[in-house]
Amino acid sequence: MSAIDRRDFLVRSGMAIGAAVLAADGCVSKTLAGSPPLKLDSWQAVRGQFQLTPDFIHLAGFFLASHPAPVRAAIERHRRGLDADPIGYWFEHEEQQEAAVLRAAAEYLSVDPTEIALTDSTTMGLGLLYGGLTLREGQEVLTTQYDHYSTDTALRLRAERTGATVRQIPLYHSLKDVSSLELHENLIKNIRPNTRIVAVTWVHSSTGLKLPVQEMARAIHTLNESRTEQDRVILCVDGVHALGVEDFRLSDLGCDFLVAGTHKWMFGPRGTGLVWGHQRAWPVANAIIPTFNTQAYDIWMGLNQPKDLPKSVYMTPGGFHSFEHRWALDQAFTFHQAIGKARVTQRIYELNQQLKQGLAKMPHVMLHTPMSQDLSSGIVCFEVTGMRPRQVIERLRQQKIIGSVTPYATEYARLAPSLLNSSEDIEQALQEILKLRV
Ligand SMILES: Cc1ncc(COP(=O)(O)O)c(C=O)c1O
């Protein structure tokens, strides 16, 4: 059957409609057909899946993913198919592959595939969500002083376009003695009767601080018990530095929306991301970019009767994408599952502890990230007396250690021990930081 015939057949038989979202039917590629099962029982084996140059110690892996072998192979397979016959390959694979990606993401997050919208980045997800959330006259958005440029700017643009009120608050006095209780109490006490949206970032890329999102969500649930559906506080989380690090199930987390790129800690294809929304929260979202979902498109063409599709469908922007990347995303989730979520978290915590303990002992180093893993995740921020953060990172790079500088008004040196690292890597980084005494 030709691609166009197949499309006609699918449309006529009604199968084209959202099969991608609604009936993921065993087309999930656990690993690529014909490839040997992933054996990721040692950290060396995990590291061996990446083509990162061995000349460096990579402590900025979260910035933008290096693709592990199964992701590279899937991208290559789709690229070849698209290069050979773009329209034919697209018709043959679009629904199937999108279903596979949604199913893999949903399995990983322990949610339903219809609750997930696919995006190209965290920024795209934040822009779509904050740009379109329904706000009634007088309702406000509450956010914090620590969010990334993308949250901040998405909210500012929304405010400029619609006149919406955005209020920004501090959550703690000092990182030295910050506590989970302080963070969560400060958020809750700042919620006013007209606060509709709470926009926070789970793991701050400015300091490495991790917010107690679950406790915050629980307190918001309690507060919501005395509110009507239209006034309910909606908790939105930028979760990009938690996804692929923290061992969580979205059903347990309790937020309404989680926005994340999948091209950082998740090792997904560069240019991929998602927005997850709880079923009770999706009605508050409004799409800004037309979706290219087949079912929605067919309704527009008059091929199908209008009907309600899941909001996540409309919140998945069209038009055409770099499909070889988007369709390879299932492999990243499979890769993480093959290692095991709990193992991933434990390993990242161990390496981060090693780095923080080492830095805390150095008199010329000021460690900013909390020591406790309850309040930190995979990012470590610090300063070296007498040196600018950029100098610190430059000097480390000269010694083949790659870090980054926090892209915020207050800059810190930032290292992020990850699955790409060994304990020896961390020791070596510590030795080099020790030598930075002026
Ligand atoms: C907290 C946070 N949110 C959002 C982003 C933007 O992510 P993306 O590149 O996926 O848009 C970053 C970093 O780039 C970040 O640190």
Give the model confidence (pLDDT) of 102-158 as tens digits: 999 999 999 999 999 999 999 999 999 999 999 999 999 999 999 999 999 999 999
Residue 263 DSSP label: S
Burial pattern 156-170, b for ≥16 Cβ within 10 A else e, equals eebeeeeebebeeee
| Phi, psi angle pair for 154, to nearest 5° | -60, -40
For the chain, what percent of residues have pLDDT higher than 70? Answer: 92
Decide: 419 and 338 in contact? Cβ < 8 Å: no
Residue 266 pLDDT: 98
Q: Which residues of 125-138 are buried (b: 16+ CB within 10 A; e: fewer)?
A: bbbbbbbbbebeee
Q: Is the CB of 122 under 6 A from ligand 1?
A: yes
Cα(174) to ligand 1 centroid in Å equals: 24
> What whole-number distance in Å separates Cα of residue 26 and Cα of residue 370?
44
213 vs 26, more confident:
213
CB within 8 Å of 179: residues ≥ 6 apart: 375
Peptide bond before residue 319 is cis, with ω within 30 degrees of 0? yes
Q: What is the pTM of this model?
A: 0.93
Residue 295 clears pLDDT 60, i.e. is over it: yes
Which atom of ligand 1 lies at the shortest distance from residue 273's CA?
10
Question: Of the residues 129, 148, 149, which should be mutated to test ligand 1's pocket, given the most ligand atoms within 8 Å of the CB?
Answer: 148
Q: Is the CB of 240 under 6 A from ligand 1?
A: yes
- Alpha helix (H) ranges present in 50-205? 69-84, 86-109, 122-132, 149-162, 180-189
Assess whether the C-beta atom of 201 lies below 6 angstroms from ligand 1: yes
Span 5-31, average pLDDT = 40
Q: Which atom of ligand 1 is nearest to the CA of 150?
A: 4
Distance CA 308, CA 289 (A): 18
Q: Does the beta carbon of 121 sit less than 6 angstroms from any atom of ligand 1?
A: yes
Q: Which residues contact 275 (CB under 8 A, 6 or more apart)?
A: 116, 117, 119, 125, 128, 129, 257, 258, 259, 312, 315
> Residue 124 Cα, ligand 1 centroid: separation in angstroms?
10
Looking at ligand 1, which residue's alpha carbon is closest to its atom 12? 148
Q: What would the pLDDT profile of 361-391 be if each residue is shown by its tens digit?
A: 999 999 999 999 999 999 999 999 999 999 9
- Centre of ligand 1 from the C-alpha of residue 85, in Å: 34
